[in-house]
Every structure is written in structure tokens, then in C-alpha cells.
């Protein structure tokens, strides 16, 4: 009976659990995370307008772990032995025959004044804070933007900001208050959302213009204050700032000898294995993977990487060399509370379908379908 340890109860970790159980029903699985719960982050965009509450997105994983025969260890990873066979945690050491790291990424909080901004994808509390702040505002300026990791530009998650700003526009119009607010979108990139593909950038910028959203593009960010966003190209008023900084690796990686990428993530090969380590794999935001520069930091990508990692890990446990790779694919619906734009990209193709109500309902339906195994 092989002992497999998984770090993280996010998209990568839970997909790994299902993949292991399908092909290795007798494996002993230990999953380490602070709580036996899963937060469905894509649904955070609907908290400010009330389509979803925080509890709608918080899934108690205890029944799922019981069905999957997973031992959940409530704690956080703190280090790793030199050969990768012992994971150090706040709840004690955990020995393993194979390790999969899916503990996510960490937002870089170095910009002066960043304490004045809300990072929407930090969790339910952040989304609720946006909801509550907007409720109390009679008008003013709301600024939303994102940036990357300067040492690894692909280590970013900017897509949700498009959804938050389009959703805010729709929400304020529905409430009859849009004329009292100025919405600003900002980013150091000259072509925001370029990872979605050139067609998507054009569509997103055209949609912002149609909705009266002001844009501030191509200028390096300098600082935030309670009332302003300052860039090298000037400054503008902001009574509420939403900002998604670039991402880097977890702090516990510093207590290991695992190889790191320039941006601080765990280095991975095409098979999701950490080079130089037997039976140590990474999936999702924790890893830096070979591939095109538009490879997304996205739940769908984490799922694809986790499935490949599990196949290779189980193969190694049976004496086979890793051979499974993952498909690089971006699929998302840029939602605006009542409509959505479908964007898909592979290494060969790029599709952008215009906003319709159908795609909004499809995104809601996908949420229901995705969460079924965990409820």
C-alpha cells in the first residue's frame, strides 16, 4: 500500500484525490490543508452583487474525504526532507512514498500603499468587503487593476479583474447608480489580457469603452493611497481600489531545497515532476511549467496538471519513468453578472465569442456541475 501525500485542498489537490482513487483504490492518501474545506474562487465575482453568498462558495470536504478514504491533516506545510519523503507540517511530520504539491501561490504585496487595496481573489472575506464598501458609497471612483511578477510575467491572475469591473458596471446600472460612479481599469500592460489572445484583448477593450470604463494602460505602478492610484504616467482618484498583484511561491518553499523558478515558484518539467526529486510533483499555481508564455494560472489548468502529475506519480511507484504530459489550454467565460464572453485558446487556435446571456448561464451551470463531487 503506497502512501501518497497531497499538500493543498484547492483545485489541484482535489482533482489529484479523484484521479488517484480511480486508478489506485488501495493507496493511502493524506491531504494537508488548514481546513477540510474548498473555496470555489471563480464564484467570488458574484458576491458583490448578491448572486452568491460566501457560504455558497465554501464547501465542507469532510463527506468527500470520507467517501474517498482520505486522511485530512489540519495544518500547513513548513518544510521537506532532502529526499522529499518527509513533509514537515504544523501538525507534525508526514512520511510519504509520493508527494504532490498543490498549495497554490502567494500574492506579492510589496507595492507602497497596497494595504489600501483589496485583493479580490484572496478569498470570501475580500469579496464581502467589496460588497459592503460599495453598499455604503453614494458615488465616487472605483479603480480595478492587476500586475504581474516582474521576474516571471506569466505568474499572474488578471482575468477575474475583468469580471469584477464588468460585473460592477452591471450591478450599478441595475441599482440605478451608475451615473454617480467613475470606473477605472489600470495595468502596466499596454495590451491587458494578451494571454487570452489578441482577439480577446480587442473585445475586452471595446467592451470597456462601450460601458464607459476609463482605462490607464502601459504605465508602471508606483503606489496606492486611500484616495489615489499613482503610476509613472500620472495619478487618478480612487475611493475604492481592487488590485491583483503578481504571484510567487509559498513561504514554506524557502525551507526546502526544491528548485525554484526566477519568480519564486517550484520548478517543474513537462511531466509536472520537480527536477532532481523522485516522486515529487507539483500542479497548479505553486509550479512554473514549460510551455507558451500565455499558459494561464487558472483552475482548469491546475486540473489538467494534477491529472498528469498523478499518472506519472503512480507510474513511478510501479517502476515506470514519467511520460504523461498535460495539454496547455485556456478556457474561460468572462462574466458580467448577466452576460458572458467565451474565450478559448490552445497552441493552434484562439476563439472569442461575443457576450450573451447564454454564456452567463453556462458559467453558473458549470459551477453546479464542478462542485457536485464535493457536496
- The string of pLDDT tens digits covering residues 84-104 is 999 999 999 999 999 999 999
pLDDT band at 139 (very low <50, low <70, confident <90, very high): very high
pLDDT of residue 154: 81
- Convert the pLDDT of each residue in 314-353 to its tens digit: 999 999 999 999 999 999 999 999 999 999 999 888 999 9
pLDDT of residue 25: 95
Give the distance, in angstroms, between the CA of residue 292 and the centroid of all CA atoms in the same chain.
18
> Which of 140-144, 193-197, 304-308, 342-346 is predicted least confidently?
193-197
- Convert the pLDDT of each residue in 236-288 to its tens digit: 999 999 999 999 999 999 999 999 999 999 999 999 999 999 999 999 999 99
Which residues, 6+ apart, have CB-to-CB distance to 348 below 8 Å? none
pLDDT band at 15 (very low <50, low <70, confident <90, very high): very high
pLDDT greater than 90 at residue 134: yes
Alpha-carbon distance 246 to 243, whole Å?
10
Give the other-Cβ count within 10 Å of 282's Cβ. Answer: 30
Rounded mean pLDDT of the chain?
Answer: 96
pLDDT of residue 199: 84
Please name which of 305, 260, 263 lies closest in space to residue 284, comparing C-alpha atoms: 305
pLDDT band at 153 (very low <50, low <70, confident <90, very high): confident
CA atoms within 13 A on the CB side of 248: 16
pLDDT of residue 353: 93
DSSP conformational letter for 151: T
The cell for 348 is 493552434
- Convert the pLDDT of each residue in 24-72 to its tens digit: 999 999 999 999 999 999 999 999 999 999 999 999 999 999 999 999 9
pLDDT of residue 8: 98
pLDDT greater than 90 at residue 123: yes
Give the rounded percent of residues in the chain with a pLDDT score beyond 90: 92
* DSSP of 85-140: -EEEETT--EE-SEEEE----EE---STTGGGEE-GGG-HHHHHHHHHHHHH-SSE
Alpha-carbon distance 124 to 226, whole Å?
22
The cell for 345 is 485558446
Average pLDDT over every residue of 9-23:
98
Q: What does the buried/exposed string (b/e) look like for 80-116 if buried means 16 or more CB atoms within 10 Å of the residue's CB?
A: beeebbbbbbeeeebebbbbbbbbbbbbbeebebbeb
Alpha-carbon distance 87 to 327, whole Å?
29
pLDDT of residue 1: 85
pLDDT greater than 90 at residue 113: yes
pLDDT band at 156 (very low <50, low <70, confident <90, very high): confident
pLDDT of residue 193: 82
pLDDT band at 196 (very low <50, low <70, confident <90, very high): confident
By three-state DSSP, how is residue 241 classified?
strand
* pLDDT, greater one: 247 or 195: 247
Give the other-Cβ count within 10 Å of 79's Cβ. Answer: 15
pLDDT greater than 90 at residue 157: no
Dihedral (C-alpha) 84, 86, 88, 94: value to the nearest 10 degrees?
140
Amino acid at each position: 500500500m503506497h502512501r501518497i501525500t497531497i499538500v493543498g485542498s484547492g483545485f489541484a489537490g482535489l482533482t489529484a484525490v479523484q484521479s488517484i482513487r480511480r486508478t489506485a483504490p488501495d493507496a493511502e492518501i493524506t491531504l494537508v490543508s488548514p481546513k477540510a474545506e474548498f473555496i470555489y474562487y471563480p464564484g467570488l465575482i458574484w458576491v458583490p452583487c448578491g448572486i452568491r453568498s460566501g457560504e455558497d462558495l465554501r464547501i465542507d470536504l469532510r463527506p468527500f474525504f470520507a467517501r474517498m478514504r482520505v486522511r485530512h491533516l489540519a495544518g500547513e506545510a513548513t518544510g521537506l526532507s532532502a529526499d522529499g519523503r518527509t513533509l514537515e507540517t504544523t501538525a507534525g511530520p508526514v512520511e510519504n512514498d509520493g508527494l504532490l504539491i498543490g498549495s497554490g501561490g502567494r500574492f506579492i504585496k510589496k507595492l507602497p500603499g497596497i494595504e489600501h487595496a483589496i485583493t479580490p481573489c484572496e478569498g470570501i472575506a475580500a469579496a464581502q468587503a467589496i460588497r459592503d464598501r460599495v453598499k455604503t458609497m453614494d458615488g465616487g471612483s472605483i479603480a480595478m487593476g492587476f500586475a504581474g511578477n516582474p521576474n516571471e510575467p506569466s505568474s499572474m491572475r488578471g482575468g477575474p479583474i475583468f469580471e469584477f469591473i464588468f460585473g460592477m458596471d452591471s450591478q450599478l446600472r441595475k441599482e440605478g447608480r451608475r451615473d454617480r460612479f467613475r470606473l477605472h481599469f489600470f495595468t502596466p500592460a499596454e495590451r491587458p489580457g494578451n494571454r487570452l489572445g489578441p482577439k480577446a484583448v480587442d473585445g475586452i477593450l471595446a467592451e470597456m469603452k462601450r460601458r464607459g470604463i476609463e482605462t490607464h494602460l502601459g504605465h508602471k505602478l508606483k503606489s496606492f493611497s486611500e484616495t489615489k492610484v499613482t503610476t509613472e504616467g500620472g495619478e487618478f482618484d480612487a475611493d475604492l481600489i481592487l488590485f491583483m498583484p503578481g504571484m510567487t511561491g509559498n513561504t514554506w518553499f524557502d525551507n526546502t531545497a526544491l528548485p525554484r523558478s526566477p519568480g519564486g515558484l517550484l520548478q517543474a518539467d513537462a511531466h509536472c515532476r520537480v527536477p532532481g526529486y523522485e516522486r515529487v510533483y507539483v500542479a497548479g499555481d505553486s509550479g512554473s511549467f514549460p510551455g507558451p508564455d500565455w499558459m494561464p494560472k487558472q483552475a482548469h489548468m491546475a486540473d489538467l496538471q494534477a491529472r498528469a502529475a498523478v499518472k506519472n506519480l503512480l507510474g513511478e511507484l510501479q517502476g515506470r519513468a514519467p511520460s504523461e504530459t498535460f495539454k496547455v489550454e485556456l478556457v474561460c467565460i468572462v462574466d458580467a453578472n448577466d452576460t458572458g464572453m467565451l474565450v478559448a485558446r490552445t497552441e493552434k487556435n484562439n476563439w472569442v465569442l461575443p457576450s450573451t446571456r447564454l454564456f452567463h448561464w453556462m458559467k453558473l451551470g458549470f459551477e453546479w456541475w464542478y462542485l457536485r463531487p464535493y457536496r
